[in-house]
Amino acid sequence: MTTSSEYTIDLERIIRGRAGNRVPGFVIRWLKRLIHEDFINDYLLKGKEGVDFCEGVVEQLGVTLTVSGLENLPDEGRFTFVSNHPLGAIDGVTLGGVVGRRYQGRVKYLVNDLLMNLKGLAPLCVPINKLGSQSRDLPRLVQEAFDSDNHIIMFPAGLCSRLINGEIHDIPWGKAFITKSVQSKRDVVPVHFIGQNSPRFYRVAKWCKRLGIKFNLAMLLLPDEMYKSRGRHYDVHIGAPIPYQTFDKSRSATAWALWVEDEVYKL
């Protein structure tokens, strides 16, 4: 029998589990308000899981979508879906719902392991933690995901988009989706999600970079950014699959990753 505590999040417990008593109580209380813990838990208590969880988040927030390009997706095959990451939260669950519903739940995210605390989302996640003990299992977990029959959703920038030269744009994409897709013979599906966060988010990200702050403070704002997305409309463009054979030796994997990134922004 599941209990409410199995689904809801307790930020204090998470922080204490990672940092012990080094974080003052007033900071934890501020963080609880910042992430809208009560609002999130009201939704989590519904007990939705997997694709239903993703679709439910979109519905709970009153977000509407226009998705173009679903006709590009074949019924058969295994794909790596790669997208820009403008919002850092709602874009992720939206793609999980769209792709997951199209392929009867056969979808996995490669995500920060912190998201495993969301029990409803956890069944769709491959936890990525490059630090700590889990890092030893990272290559195996990633390989198992790509070898499976599930479709993979990745945000190759690793971070959500930043304000760059006056435009909202990803930082340069990493090459892992190219190398792993070629190894596992997966075609790559480009996805362009159109949206942006608040000016405050980009100011915080900019000052962190200027001051050389290594901790991603802007990440703490993402739950608030998702909360602010209530009632908004977003456009999602899905391109035709790019055959994995495209990524030959004529370019490096890094160069191919940047080429796919450019193709995404053309959609």
pLDDT at 193: 97
Residue 221 lies in a domain: yes
Range of the domain at 218: 48-266
Q: Average the pLDDT over each of 8-22, 27-41, 146-160, 180-194 and give the range with the smallest value.
A: 8-22
Residue 1 pLDDT exceeds 70 = no
Read off the pLDDT of each residue in 45-58 and give the average, rounded to a whole number.
91
- For residues 158 and 216, give the distance between their C-alpha atoms in angstroms, rounded to a whole number: 12
Residue 5 lies in a domain: no
Domain containing 248 — which CATH number? Answer: 3.40.1130
pLDDT range class, residue 139, cuts 50, 70, 90: confident
Q: Structural domain tally of the chain?
A: 1
Residue 21 lies in a domain: no
Residue 36 lies in a domain: no
Residue 11 lies in a domain: no
Q: What is the pTM of this model?
A: 0.88
Which pLDDT tens digit goes with each residue over 187-236?
A: 999 999 999 999 998 998 888 888 777 777 788 888 889 889 999 999 99
Residue 85 pLDDT exceeds 60 = yes
Read off the pLDDT of each residue in 166-176 and give the average, rounded to a whole number.
94
Residue 25 lies in a domain: no
The torsion defined by the Cα of 257, 262, 266 and 267, in degrees rounded to 10, comes to: 20
Read off the pLDDT of each residue in 236-264 and give the average, rounded to a whole number.
97
pLDDT range class, residue 2, cuts 50, 70, 90: very low
Q: Average the pLDDT over each of 67-81, 176-190, 203-217 and give the range with the smallest value.
A: 203-217
Residue 12 lies in a domain: no
Residue 43 lies in a domain: no
Burial 226-247 (b: 16+ CB within 10 A, else e): bbbbeeeebebbbbebbebebb
pLDDT at 5: 60
pLDDT at 183: 95
Residue 134 pLDDT exceeds 80 = no
